[in-house]
Structures are given as C-alpha cells and as structure tokens.
Amino acid sequence: MLAIGFPLGASAFTSGEPTITSGIFSARRDFRGQSYVQTDTPVNHGNSGGPLINLKGEVIGINTLVVGRTVEQQAQGLNLAIPSSVVRSLLPGLRDQPAARPSATPSRTATTAASSRTYRSTSYAYSLQYPGHWKLDDSDAKEVSVSGDGGEVAVVVEQLSRSLSAGEFADGIVSSMQRNLTDFKLARRTDGRLRSGQTAVILTVSWREGGATFEGTGVVAVNGTRGYFVLGGADSERYRSVSGRVEDILNSFSLQ
C-alpha cells in the first residue's frame, strides 16, 4: 500500500513534491459510524485527501485520519482511509454541483486569512503567522509563544556551542523531553523541509502535565549556530478542534 500526500502541509516541509510512504492493508473498520480501510502506512497531518494506492496502481481509498496517538491509547498503525467505493458514489453529485458564486459574506477561511498576524523576530531571524485573536507573548525573545482556542505554539531558540545538523539537534530535544516531561511519547519522527528551504525534523509527541494528556507536533531546524524548536499542541480533549490552526502556524514558520 502506498500513501501520497504533503505531511504538515504543502508549503512548509516539502520541496513542492508529495511524499510517498508504504505499508500493508490491515482491515476494514467501522469508526464513529463510517466505514474505513485501515492501513499501517505512515500518515501524518496534512496527508488527508491524498490517495491510498495498492501495488497495481489502483486507488483503494482517500487518506483521512489517524487514531490512537495519546498516552492512554498507544495503538500503532491505526491509519484510516475512506474506501474508494464510497468516494466513487459521491463523485457524480460533486461534478453536477454548480460553481460557487461570489458572496458578500466572507467565508471562514477568508476571514481567518484576513485576520492573521505575522510575527518577525529581528533578533533571531524567523517569522510565523498566527490567528489575529490569539495572544502573543514575546517578553523573552528566545521563547516566544502564541496561544488561543485552547492551543499554544512556542518557538524556542538555542545558541549552539558547535555546528549541528537538524537531526542531531532533534536528538537532543527528544532526550530533554524524555527527561523533563511525564509519560513522554514520541509517536513519529520524520524528515521534512521548511518553506524557507532548510531541512527540518518533524516530531509527533504526547505527554502528561497537571493530570491531563497533551498532544503536539514539533518542528526542529538549525540555521548556522542557532537551533530552533517550534512546538504546537493542546490537551487531548481540545487538540482535534485546534490542530488545524496549530498546523497552519507550524506551516508558516520560516527562517530568514
């Protein structure tokens, strides 16, 4: 089985080309009233909408979601795709729908884009975009955060004592989180690229804090003798609803 898509979005951690991951067909599943194809093919946030293909080149599903990535549920390989038979039955209706007409009422997406803000760190040469209603805390230039809707994204900059690759810096980040966070779990680690072109390492993590379980995605990059760690997340109850905004912020992170 092959899954094609843009992990964490098309603009941030790829060079413009989709990634391809491989695995096996696991089962057919009913989950929350919907039938799915289950595969252990690695799927990340941003892969949704991409095809799941068998070795004959046939599309058997559309990558949709991943379940079982919390401290309480450490299942592996629960990656779900909508079966192609379901998608095929919807195509005629989608084709026959009239083209959307301009509306005087702005869409949610347009409103979000219009109300976004850009933070630029002149001290540490990076930028990111965040929702306009989120709160920015840049009182410490080395540890800047934006928060809102129950989620938070923090950018931590570290001055390196020697030249490191993004992978080597990520090794240190993971070791530190393992030492300092309760029940820390690294669910997935993949390589990618920032929209500004630098190599990045993407970490999918979870941990416990104050009696609650938190889920998050981290981006690790190096530019010269500076290491950058961008971590976005929320408690598990809110993460699903806020993960889209978190991913948008991570996707926008760029080194100058």
pLDDT at 14: 46
**Residues 111-125: pLDDT tens digits?**
344 478 999 999 999
Whether 151 and 179 map to the same domain: the answer is yes
Q: Which range marks the domain in which residue 209 is found?
A: 108-255
- CATH label of the domain that carries residue 246: 3.40.1000.10
Whether 221 and 118 map to the same domain: the answer is yes
The answer to whether position 102 is within a domain reads no
- Report residue 241's pLDDT band, with 50, 70 and 90 as the boundaries: confident
pTM above 0.75, yes or no: no
The answer to whether position 240 is within a domain reads yes
Structurally, the chain folds into a number of domains equal to 2
Whether 59 and 128 map to the same domain: the answer is no
- CATH label of the domain that carries residue 80: 2.40.10.10
The answer to whether position 103 is within a domain reads no
The answer to whether position 163 is within a domain reads yes
Dist. CA 107–CA 13, nearest whole Å = 27
Among 54-63, 72-81, 97-106, 120-129, the minimum mean pLDDT is found in 97-106
Beta bridge partner(s), residue 158: 227
Q: Is 12 helix (H, G, I), strand (E, B) or coil?
A: coil
Whether 145 and 72 map to the same domain: the answer is no
The answer to whether position 173 is within a domain reads yes
Among 50-54, 218-222, 234-238, the minimum mean pLDDT is found in 50-54
Whether 62 and 166 map to the same domain: the answer is no
Alpha helices, DSSP H, located in the chain? 84-96, 108-114, 166-180, 236-252
CA 254 to chain centre: 15
The neighbour count for residue 152, using CB atoms within 10 Å, is 21
Whether 137 and 83 map to the same domain: the answer is no
Among 29-33, 121-125, 189-193, 222-226, the minimum mean pLDDT is found in 29-33
Whether 239 and 133 map to the same domain: the answer is yes
* Nearest of 52, 55, 49, 12 to residue 190 by alpha carbon: 12
